[in-house]
Amino acid sequence: MAVPKQRKTKSRRNQRRSHIHLPVPNLVKCSKCGKLKKSHTVCVYCGYYRGKEVIDVLKGLGKKERKNRKKKLSSEEKGDKEKPLELKDLSQK
């Protein structure tokens, strides 16, 4: 049986294994809520796919979580974005 005469270095071993890795998933923004999701799948956060509601996400949540999620989704639909704080605002508070 053949036995190697010299030990292979870590560098050589790692070069051999360079193609063995997990691919980075392609993420896209959800058209409804703007969260990152896998392409061609239902958004886990809002339950929409291609502009139509497929899953009622709010049904499985608790009372407080449901209220917070509704509030976030409605503000995102309207386009309300929180303004970044400026030095003027910080000094007045």
Q: What is the pLDDT of residues 1-42, one digit of tens each?
A: 899 999 999 999 999 999 999 988 899 998 888 889 999 999
Asked whether residue 3 is domain-assigned, the answer is no
Query: From CA 90, how far away is CA 61, in angstroms rounded?
Result: 36
- Give the Cα-Cα-Cα angle 37, 57, 78 (nearest 5 degrees): 75
60 located within any domain: yes
71 part of a folded domain: yes
For residue 46, is it within any domain?
A: yes
Given this model, what pLDDT does residue 82 score? 61
- Do the domain assignments include residue 62? yes
For tokens 């193609």, the residue is 19
The residue ranking higher by pLDDT, 36 or 59, is: 36
Domain assignment present for residue 12? The answer is no
Which of 46, 14, 40, 44 is closest to 25 using CA atoms? 40
* Residue 69, in any domain of the structure: yes
- The total domain count for the chain is 1
Q: Give the pLDDT of residue 53.
A: 86
Of 76 and 19, the structure prediction assigns the larger pLDDT to 19
Domain assignment present for residue 33? The answer is yes
Give yes or no for residue 93 having a pLDDT over 70: no
Domain that holds residue 46: 24-77
